Structure 1
Amino acid sequence: MTYQGVLRKMETELASPIQYYLVFENDFLNINQLIGKQITMQFIKYQCLNCGLDKPIYRQGFDKQCFYETARAGDWIMRPELSTAHLGKEDRDLEYEKRAQLQPHIVYLANSSNVKVGVTRKSQVPTRWIDQGAHEAIEIVEVPNRYLAGITEVALKDYVADKTNWRKMLKNDIEDENLVEWREKLKSYIPDEALEYFIENNTETNLEFPVNKYPEKPKSLNIKKEQSYIGKLVGVKGQYLIFEDETVFNVRANEGLVVNISVS
């Protein structure tokens, strides 16, 4: 079977194990069903997720011009504390920013390679945790807008990590943590504006990934440079495809690339 389309981050479904789907314009793949099979991947061209043109991808699936123009790539996306829609102030497109920023957001703790703090829209729980390869996570604050979530994250970053070590995550070199204890320990550092939204009573969510074999020394595939790759798929974690030869491919980091995928 052969499939072709522009890469976007894999869709996921909470199950045991998590179900992964790669959605192309005319094709739909359940990645779990490909585990144990040989995959051939070939780079075809670029296709910017904003303008659709064959222009080199700069960041987040956009070419350089679109990255600096589209509202979907504003600084507030990576830095929620820069959100201004709650003040009625526009960054690039106020209506878009109101829809994205003025909705419930979660500040959470997730353990993928270590305990880290993060922010996501409430509607993206547990998708965000799955995308980060977290095997356990817990909500600690639910606020009405992105700005409040952002300033809370900034305040907590002094006491807990805000980055994931992707190699450690993929090697499954992890330790279970008591995230309820972490939540209580961090409560005193939450800004006054967000403290009333602290979640007092909840339990952590545990996630199981479809992986038959974890790599000891994961090496990242640059499909643009290599042009093509052949390998046996042995698992999926986060947004990474894991192959038997310890090659790993980050689907989300390659959004906007058109690829041909053959399964045998």
Structure 2
Amino acid sequence: MLGVKNSKFYAMQYQGVLKKMLTENNDEIQYYLDMESDFINMNQLLTKTITIQFVKYQCLNCGLDKQIYRQGFCKSCFFETARAGDWIMRPELSKAHLGIEDRDLEYEKQSQLKPHIVYLANSSNVKVGVTRKSQVPTRWIDQGAHEAIEIVEVPNRYLAGITEVALKEHVADKTNWRKMLKNDVVDESLEDWKNKLKQYIPEEAKEYFIENNKETELKFPVIAYPEKPKSLNLIKTPNYSGKLVGIKGQYLIFEDQTVFNVRANEGLVVQISIQ
């Protein structure tokens, strides 16, 4: 269980580099923001006014104050580090199972040659996705899915990738973030979807189909959903204050309809104060 080191943090300021919020799947999902010296339990900040101020950049790989390009990395690190290889966003490009290096074979073996799950999740619509087995249900929480189900469990990332490629011919593979945040979703029978899609699983992965499993349901800590969510760009608006009314996916939801995607702002050093 993650904890908050200082129980008097409401009157304090925190500074640290943004990384995606850590989560625990309890009756209601618990969110924690790592501010280096403290973990802030974000659920406890609901109805509180939070000020977020941009301080500088800090690449998650080299640690330098260089403009963030993608995924929390500066441009040079994004094209060099093994943590940002093409196979991460496109699992079907994985080659570690063949002993072929992309950027760092040992790192790629550690990441790719582990059990992976191909799943269906319903956040704005039913979509197919891939994650390491160890990231269930974290991946679903990060996507703001209120329900999800596993389709196959395969021994490496490549098999998961080619399965996803085959299935996304018949079901979406993207989430509409606005619909997700507005909670404009329809409950679906993911078990029915899974069984309908079974016929499209590639031959190499058919033996890994998961029979007779049930949907996982997820509950997010949201007091009010935005009707017209507007995304906070912390570079253009380097100082923002608002009352926190919800957390869904990796988004903070504020009373004035502003939403802030913590994960999309990884690598930004911010100062946070709570009133």
**Fold in common (TM above 0.5):** yes
The residue that corresponds to 2:84 in the other structure is 73
How far apart, CA to CA, are the structure 2 residues paired with 1:198 and 1:186?
Answer: 11
Matches within 5 A, 1:1-264: 1-264=12-275
How far apart, CA to CA, are the structure 2 residues paired with 1:119 and 1:263?
Answer: 36
TM-score, reference length from structure 1: 1.00
Q: Residue 226 of structure 1: SS of its match in structure 2?
A: coil
Question: Structure 1 counterpart of 2:256, which letter?
Answer: D
The list of structure 1 runs, each at least 4 consecutive aligned residues, that deviate by more than 6 angstroms after superposition, is: none
C-alpha displacement of 1:26: 1.1
Check whether the contact 1:40–1:230 (CA below 8 A) recurs between aligned residues. yes
Q: Over aligned residues, Cα RMSD in angstroms?
A: 0.4
Question: Structure 1 counterpart of 2:34, which letter?
Answer: V
Deviations 1:36-95 (A, max 9, x none): 000011000000000000000000000000000000000000000000000000000000
How far apart, CA to CA, are the structure 1 residues paired with 2:178 and 2:261?
Answer: 12
Length, aligned pairs only: 264
Q: Residue 227 of structure 2: SS of its match in structure 1?
A: coil
Deviations 1:148-183 (A, max 9, x none): 000000000000000000000000001100000000
How far apart, CA to CA, are the structure 2 residues paired with 1:28 and 1:199?
Answer: 37
Could you list the runs of 5+ residues in structure 2 that have no partner in the other structure?
1-11
Question: Structure 2 counterpart of 1:48, which letter?
Answer: C
Q: Residue 79 of structure 2: SS of its match in structure 1?
A: helix
C-alpha displacement of 1:201: 1.2
Question: Structure 2 counterpart of 1:250, which letter?
Answer: N
How far apart, CA to CA, are the structure 2 residues paired with 1:160 and 1:100?
Answer: 26
How far apart, CA to CA, are the structure 1 residues paired with 2:14 and 2:46?
Answer: 16
Identity of aligned residues (%): 80
How far apart, CA to CA, are the structure 1 residues paired with 2:39 and 2:157?
Answer: 32
TM-score, reference length from structure 2: 0.96
How far apart, CA to CA, are the structure 2 residues paired with 1:254 and 1:87?
Answer: 34
Question: Structure 2 counterpart of 1:41, which letter?
Answer: I
How far apart, CA to CA, are the structure 2 residues paired with 1:54 and 1:93?
Answer: 25
Question: Structure 1 counterpart of 2:95, which letter?
Answer: T
How far apart, CA to CA, are the structure 2 residues paired with 1:261 and 1:4?
Answer: 6
How far apart, CA to CA, are the structure 2 residues paired with 1:15 and 1:241?
Answer: 19
How far apart, CA to CA, are the structure 1 residues paired with 2:16 and 2:27?
Answer: 28
Question: Structure 1 counterpart of 2:96, which letter?
Answer: A
Question: Structure 1 counterpart of 2:161, which letter?
Answer: G
Q: Residue 69 of structure 1: SS of its match in structure 2?
A: coil
Check whether the contact 1:16–1:209 (CA below 8 A) recurs between aligned residues. no
